[in-house]
Amino acid sequence: AAGVIQSPRHLIKEKRETATLKCYPIPRHDTVYWYQQGPGQDPQFLISFYEKMQSDKGSIPDRFSAQQFSDYHSELNMSSLELGDSALYFCASSLQNTEAFFGQGTRLTVV
């Protein structure tokens, strides 16, 4: 069965650079979520989209933005990167009121 696809799997950026993470949800899923997980921490909700519209916003810095495109894939754009942005970034997708399935994640390292 198709799963949530994230790319790239690993990314190394320097401070103040920009990064773009991509997420391709499970076909026919209408909701996409982005989470950030630092070492030893629980996933922190960043932002979600329902049918290509932003549906909820969590602890997402102003330096970050995201959108969902007509083909339902989503991109998380991160600018002016800081060392503290180094984390695992997970994308998940679901149908409304059902379980969320996670992608493999993108490990971002800011040096």
Contact 96, 50 (CB under 8 A): yes
Nearer to other proteins, 44 or 79 (CB): 44
Taking the C-alpha atoms of residue 111 and residue 102, their distance in angstroms, rounded to an integer, is: 26
**Residue in 14, 62, 70, 98 binding other proteins, rule: CB under 8 A:** 98
Which 50-89 positions form the footprint of other proteins (CB under 8 A)? Answer: 50, 55-56, 88
Taking the C-alpha atoms of residue 78 and residue 91, their distance in angstroms, rounded to an integer, is: 15
Contact 35, 43 (CB under 8 A): yes
Nearer to other proteins, 17 or 56 (CB): 56
Q: Which residues bind other proteins (CB under 8 A)?
A: 31, 33, 35, 41-43, 45, 48, 50, 55-56, 88, 90, 92, 94, 96-105, 107
